[in-house]
Structure 1
């Protein structure tokens, strides 16, 4: 799909003299917005790439202004820090110039890696990157974290362990435990981390960037860690949930020391996934993990939640 006319004209206004869009490619994996890589050509035949994010689904357009403003703010904040992120080029959060609310940013080389092979190498890298994010101390804090899942909105997987799920739901009926605030990504997971993995030496994998900064928040480090735990549990194996939390601590990160408090955040994120398992499956399959059907993810989520309650409940 090509870039729409008004949006294309807006992009061209933010290019250097003599540059133009010569090619567009759809980027897969995004659940909320259309993502395109734009190849920018110049008169001297040198090319570079930009990424265009556009919110087109009516369900997400209603939140686009807030999300794009937050992402633009986060990218501006991250410039010059040790966290590799795209540079902001332009943003049109209210679609004043584009057909749909859009953001234009630089393109980072690398790719998200969701394969099972090599996860033992990538998990410690993810943990160290998340510790670096949580160490940021912005002069102006982002908004306090929000969670929408309630005990009533949880969807127990078909065939799930009823007792374990009932106990898990009881956990999130309680008030949030006290925490020390940190700068959070709020969707830190393998799909939003770009790797360089040398084919001949996969053990030399390195992170080259973190993307999708539409939900930066202030809250407990446990919440960001829990989200990555859930993703790894569903992508690879339920055991990777608690293993990633261990990797985060090995990397120097601090999590809740009381088991019940740690359980609260892990369970809260896992249960929030229960409402969107089908969407997660679609995103994973679009990114190449065609083996991860909804039923497979439901089974892994059930095993993960049951394991959390056995280990920490």
Structure 2
């Protein structure tokens, strides 16, 4: 950190930021002759992410540099130490974005419209062959899906798993965030007594940025909304996305493939998403609640697109 500070600056405080589960994120309060500013230090501390940190953090650094010339509200890159040469753990240093993560049910519909519009802008980011991100990767497979132990709908799970057992559909690829959901988006405005409505002030966590079908990003955000706010919220997100100008697969079966490929990655109980949400106050999202929401969501997908 000290190598990146200006003359006379010093770190006067460190605050852990909540809401993530793949890394430790801290706000660094800096003071110097020019006044105060804040930076964010993202560090991978768990063994799995430490092993993969060099690729992940260098990719995020490259993406942040790329996004600096776009209208996507991403942090500005300051420095990266992907191999922990200088830090205790592999880390990336960036500017602090304004706003907070919002996961409450109040105002969820209005925020979903903003999420859809933001995702359309992300998918329109233009890249050259040289700076194109890696091809997207699936986060589950038919053989890795774990249905809930006490499900009363085993046939539902078998049908869903059989769909993702097929070869991926042909698709038109674009720039993907690849982990776009409410936990990775910051908002300002809105709320009780506010004079303006909410707006997106930042999109974070670009380590999984990929090149692939827009449907996969849509699917990921839709799954999160279904688990966070209920099945209807998840089912409506693709419609919000297309209403905002985005395009999904014309063949419903192809769209269903990408939706299920994402949803089944969170079987049986959505805990991957829920742990940071509970940190942010959503203690109502118990494993039982999330299991039932995920199962109901999968059924709704099959009924609409199958």
User: Under TM normalisation by the shorter chain, which class is it?
Assistant: over 0.9
- 289-298 or 61-70, which deviates more: 289-298
Note if 1:36 corresponds to 2:26: yes
2:64 paired residue among 60, 67, 75: 75
1:110 paired residue among 99, 116, 124: 99
CA change 1:202–1:229 in 2 (3 A) is farther
- Normalising by the residue count of structure 1, what TM-score does the alignment of the two structures yield? 0.94
Note if 1:234 corresponds to 2:249: no
Note if 1:146 corresponds to 2:154: no
Deviation at 1:201, TM superposition (A): 3.4
Q: In structure 2, what is the equivalent of residue 174 of structure 1?
A: 166
How far, CA to CA, are the matches of 1:126 and 1:114 in structure 2? 13
Listed as ranges, the matches of 1:1-313 within 5 Å are 11-43=1-33, 46-139=35-128, 140-160=131-151, 161-199=153-191, 200-201=193-194, 204-274=197-267, 277-313=270-306
| Matched-pair contact (CA < 8 Å) for 2:133–2:210 | yes
1:76-118, Cα deviation, whole Å (9 max, x unpaired):
0000201010000000000111111000000001011100000
How far, CA to CA, are the matches of 2:18 and 2:133 in structure 1? 28
How far, CA to CA, are the matches of 1:130 and 1:263 in structure 2? 19
| Matched-pair contact (CA < 8 Å) for 2:234–2:297 | yes
Instruction: Look up the SS of the partner of 1:164 in the other structure.
Output: helix
Provide the alpha-carbon RMSD of the alignment.
1.3
| Matched-pair contact (CA < 8 Å) for 1:65–1:101 | yes
For structure 2, the residue ranges without an aligned partner over 5 or more in a row are: none
Deviation at 1:157, TM superposition (A): 1.8
How far, CA to CA, are the matches of 2:139 and 2:274 in structure 1? 20
- 264-273 or 194-203, which deviates more: 194-203
- Normalising by the residue count of structure 2, what TM-score does the alignment of the two structures yield? 0.96
For structure 1, the residue ranges without an aligned partner over 5 or more in a row are: 1-10
Deviation at 1:158, TM superposition (A): 3.4
Deviation at 1:204, TM superposition (A): 0.8
